[in-house]
A and B are shown apart, each in its own frame.
Chain A
Amino acid sequence: MSDVLIIGGGGAGLCAAIAAKEAGVSVNVLGKTYPIRSQTSMAQGGINAALGNVGEDSIEAHIADTLRSAHTLGDENMIRRLCEKAPEAIGWLDSIGVPFSRLEGGRVAQRRLGGAGSERACYAQDYTGLKILHTLYDTALGMGVEFLDELFMLNFIVEEGRVLGVTAIDIGSGEVRAIGAKSVVVATGGYSGLYRGFTTNSSATTGDGTAAAVRAGCVLSDMEFVQFHPTALKRSGILISESARGAGGYLLNSKGERFIDELKPRDVVAKAIWEQIESGEDVYLDIRHLGEAFIEENLPQERKLAKLYEGVDPVIDLIPIKPVAHYTMGGIEVDSNHMTKIKGLFAAGECANAHVHGANRLGGNSLLETVVFGREAGEGAAQFAREHGSVTPASSGQFEKDRGFVAAIPQFTNQIDFYEKRDFMGKIFYRNVGIARSEMGLKGVLAAIRQMQKELPFMGIADKSMEFNTNLLEFIEFGNMVELAEIVLVSAIGRNESRGAHQREDFPAEDDEKFGGVHSLSWKEQGVLCNEFEGMR
C-alpha cells in the first residue's frame, strides 16, 4: 500500500512518480516491464519548447501550430498550458541531468520537426526519448521511489466510483495480487500494437491500461485517430527517422520518380505513399546522394537497421519503406486536472486524451506531454491522496474475479491459435483501419473483431506454468487489444468525414458543420459498448 500508485514506468509514469514524491507522499511504480524498457526509449526526434535558442520562436506560435495540427479537436486551454509550461519543463529536465545536445555557450540545442514554424525541438542526438527516460529513472531511484517491476496490471479496483488500487499478475511467480493505493495514475502508453507487424512501436504497446480503464467505467475519446509514420522499413515496420528526409532524402516509386514534397506533414506524406503502394508501386527512401560520410555521421542508426532488416546498404541501395502506425491520439478522457471519470484515477501520456493532439499529433509534442502532464497528474494524485486518505475495500470481489480468470485461462480449450489471430488483426487493421478508410472496410473488420471476441474462450494457451508465463501474458494482452479494436472501429465508422489522421475515402472532406470540435466518446454499460459523438450537430 502506498499513497500514490503509478501504472507504467515510461516518461509520463516516471514524471508523475517524481512529482508525487516531491509532494511528500509515498509512491509505487508498477509496470509489466522495467521502466527503461518503455516505449519512451524509442522517441527520437525531440521535445518541443519555444525557447528560441536557435531561431525566432514564441509560445503563441507553439500554441498556434499545435492547434492547427489538431484540426479543431484540440482544447485551447490545455494546449496553452502545455506550451506555456514547456520552457520550464526543459529547465527541469536540464536540472536533473538530461544530456541534451548543446549550443556554444551551453544553451540546449533545438531543431525543426515537421509542422513546426521554428527550430523548437530540444534533442539528445537521435536518442532524445532514451536519454530523458534513463535520466528520469536515475532520478526516481535517487529519490527512493519504489518500483514494482514486472507486475502486469489486470484491472482497477473501483468502489463507489473511486479507485482503491489495482489487481496484477506478479510475472515472475504467476501469483495474482491486489495492490492498494489512495490514488492511481495510469500511464501505460498507446495502442499502436493493434497494428501488429505494421507499427513502429514496441511489441508491448498493447493498450492494457486503456482497456482496463474502459472496463472500470472510464470514458475513452477520439479513439479513431491513429497517426501513421511515413517511413518505416517495409518488412519489419521499424522506424526510419524523419531526419532522413529532413537531411534531403527523396521518396521514389518503382519507376524512380519522386511523387511528393518529402517535407510535407506526416499525414500528407503517409497518404501519398499509401496511394503509390495501392496503385501497385513499391516505394523507396533514397539517401544515396547524401554520401557515405554524411550518412555515417548523421544517420548511423538508419544505416544499421536497413542493413539488418532489409539487407540493403543505404549508401548504395534504395531503402524499401511503407507507412505504419506510430502514435495513437485517442485515449482515456481526462478533465483539466488529468482525472478520469473515476475519482482518484488519473491518466497521463499517450494512454490519456488530454485534448492537446486532437486529430493529428505534432512531432515533439508527445514527449512534452509526458513531462508536463505527467508531472501535473502526479501532483494531482498526491493531493488527492492527502485529501482523501485510505479506504479499505469493502469487498475483495475484483481480486477474486481476476484470480479466478487467470486460473481459468489454462483451462481454455486452445483450439484456435490466438497468435495467428493477432497477426490477422494487425493485417486487417492496417489495410482497412489505416491511412485510407471506408465504411465497408471498417464494418468488415468490426465483424471479424466481434467474431474474435466470441472465439476468445476457444483460444487459450499451451504454456500452463505459473512462472514467467509470457504465453499467458500475451493472451491477456490480446484480450485487451480485441477490447480496444472494437472501440477504434465503432468510432471510425461513426465519423463520416475526413479529419487529420482519420481519412475516409467515402467522406473525403472535413465536415466542420457536423464534426467540427466534436469528440467521439466510448464507454461501457453493463459490459455493453456505448458510443456517441459529443454535441454532434
Chain B
Amino acid sequence: MIRIKIRRFHARREPQELMQEWEVKEGSTLLEALTSIKCEKDPTLTFRSGCRSSVCGSCAVRVNGKEVLACAYKPEEGDLVEPRRFAKVIKDLAVDESEAFKTLKSAKAWLGEPKEDAVVTPEDEKRTERQSDCILCSSCYSACPVLETNPAFLGPFALTRDWRYVVDPREGDIKSKIDTIQRNGVWDCTLCGECTAVCPQGIDPKSDILMLRTKSTQMGHMDPNMGSFGSFGLDF
C-alpha cells in the first residue's frame, strides 16, 4: 500500500478546501485507486471517468503539479492529486469544463467551407494525424501559463484543432479561421512548451501555433507585439 494526498473542495463546506490522505494499492492506476476509495471508503469523493483506456478524455487531473490522465498514471508514495487549473472547481477533482470548451467555438475549429473537389492524399492526412488524435482532455489548457495572466487566451487545444483544419485540403476558407485567432490567439503564446510536455497523446501544440503564426504572416497579419513596440515609441 502507498499513501496519496487528494485536494478536495466543496463549496458548501467549512473549510471549503482540505487535503486528505488515503492508502491505496500499489500498482493500480490512479483511476482504479480513486474508484476504490469512492466505492469502498468515501462515496463523496468526486471525479470524472469513462473509458479507462485514454480515449474519452474525462479523467485528466494534476499530480504533483503535472497533468496526467488518471487512467494512464500509476500513483507513487506521497503523490499530491489536484483538480486541473483554469477552470472553476465544482467539487473535488471535477472542474467546470464549459469555459475551456468555449474556445473551440471562438477559434471556429471546424471545417468552415468544404471544398467539393478536394483531394486528400495520404501525405495530407499524415500531416495532421497526430493533431486529430486529440481527446480534448484539457491537460494542455491546465498546463498553459499564459492563462494565468490572460484568461481570454484561446489556449493550446483550440489552436491545434484550428491548425488541423487550416491545413486540411477540404477547407475552402482558411482566411476567416486565421483572422479569428489573431486576438488572444497565436501571438499570445510564449512558446514555453508546457502543453507539449503534458499531452497524453503526444501532440505538440507549440509547433502547431508556430505554424499558425507563419500562416498568419503569409496572410498579411503581423505580430502585434512588434506593432505595439512601434506605437510605444510614437506615444511617448
Chain A residues within CB distance 8 Å of chain B: 33-34, 36-39, 41-42, 94-97, 99-106, 124-125, 127, 130-131, 134-135, 138-139, 141-142, 149, 172, 202-204, 236, 238-239, 301, 304-305, 308-309, 311, 419-420, 423, 461-463, 465, 467-471
- Top 10 closest pairs, chain A to chain B, by CB: A142-B110, A138-B110, A97-B111, A419-B39, A106-B119, A463-B44, A462-B43, A468-B91, A471-B43, A102-B122
Residues of B within 8 A of A469 (CB): 46
How far in angstroms is the closest Cβ of chain B from A238? 5
Q: Does B225 contact A (CB under 8 A)?
A: no
Assess whether A41 is in contact with B51, with CB atoms less than 8 Å apart: yes
1/0 per residue B118-138: CB within 8 Å of A?
011110110011001111100
Q: Does B94 contact A (CB under 8 A)?
A: yes
Chain B residues within CB distance 8 Å of chain A: 10-12, 27, 29, 38-40, 42-44, 46-58, 72, 74, 90-91, 94, 96-98, 101, 104-105, 108-112, 114, 116, 119-122, 124-125, 128-129, 132-136, 161, 164-165, 168, 170-171
Residues of B within 8 A of A104 (CB): 121-122
Assess whether A41 is in contact with B135, with CB atoms less than 8 Å apart: yes
Which residue of chain B is the closest to A419 with respect to CB atoms?
B39
- Complex Cα distance, B74 from A304, in Å, reads 13
How far in angstroms is the closest Cβ of chain B from A192? 12
Decide: A134 near B134, CB < 8 A? Known: A36-B57, A238-B53: yes
Assess whether A106 is in contact with B135, with CB atoms less than 8 Å apart: no
Assess whether B97 is in contact with A34, with CB atoms less than 8 Å apart: yes
**Can you list 7 A-B pairs, Cβ within 8 angstroms, ordered by A?**
A42-B51, A95-B116, A102-B125, A142-B108, A142-B111, A239-B53, A465-B12
Decide: A95 near B55, CB < 8 A? Known: A105-B121, A134-B132: no
Which residue of chain A is the closest to B128 with respect to CB atoms?
A99
Residues of A within 8 A of B97 (CB): 34, 149
Assess whether B125 is in contact with A100, with CB atoms less than 8 Å apart: yes
Assess whether A103 is in contact with B129, with CB atoms less than 8 Å apart: no
Given pairs A41-B56, A141-B105, A461-B43, 18 additional interface contacts (CB within 8 A): A33-B56, A36-B136, A37-B50, A41-B57, A42-B56, A96-B114, A100-B120, A101-B122, A101-B125, A104-B122, A106-B120, A130-B55, A141-B110, A142-B110, A203-B49, A239-B53, A467-B12, A467-B90
Assess whether A97 is in contact with B114, with CB atoms less than 8 Å apart: yes
- Complex Cα distance, B108 from A384, in Å, reads 31
How far in angstroms is the closest Cβ of chain B from A17? 14
- Complex Cα distance, B38 from A420, in Å, reads 12
Residues of B within 8 A of A127 (CB): 55, 132-133
How far in angstroms is the closest Cβ of chain B from A237? 8
Decide: A465 near B10, CB < 8 A? Known: A101-B125, A419-B40: yes
- Complex Cα distance, B46 from A204, in Å, reads 15
Assess whether B161 is in contact with A33, with CB atoms less than 8 Å apart: no
Residues of B within 8 A of A304 (CB): 54, 72
How far in angstroms is the closest Cβ of chain A from B140? 15
- Complex Cα distance, B110 from A139, in Å, reads 6
Residues of A within 8 A of B49 (CB): 203
- Which one of A34, A99, A419 has the highest number of Cβ atoms from chain B below 10 Å of its Cβ? A99
- Complex Cα distance, B10 from A471, in Å, reads 15
How far in angstroms is the closest Cβ of chain A from B110? 4
Assess whether B132 is in contact with A99, with CB atoms less than 8 Å apart: yes
Assess whether A138 is in contact with B133, with CB atoms less than 8 Å apart: no
- Complex Cα distance, B171 from A99, in Å, reads 12
Assess whether A34 is in contact with B101, with CB atoms less than 8 Å apart: yes
Residues of B within 8 A of A172 (CB): 90, 96
Residues of A within 8 A of B10 (CB): 465, 467
Assess whether B50 is in contact with A311, with CB atoms less than 8 Å apart: no
Which residue of chain B is the closest to A463 with respect to CB atoms?
B44
- Which one of B50, B58, B72, B120 has the highest number of Cβ atoms from chain A below 10 Å of its Cβ? B50
Assess whether B29 is in contact with A309, with CB atoms less than 8 Å apart: yes
Residues of A within 8 A of B91 (CB): 465, 467-468
- Complex Cα distance, B47 from A469, in Å, reads 10
Residues of A within 8 A of B165 (CB): 97, 138
Assess whether B74 is in contact with A308, with CB atoms less than 8 Å apart: yes
How far in angstroms is the closest Cβ of chain A from B211? 17
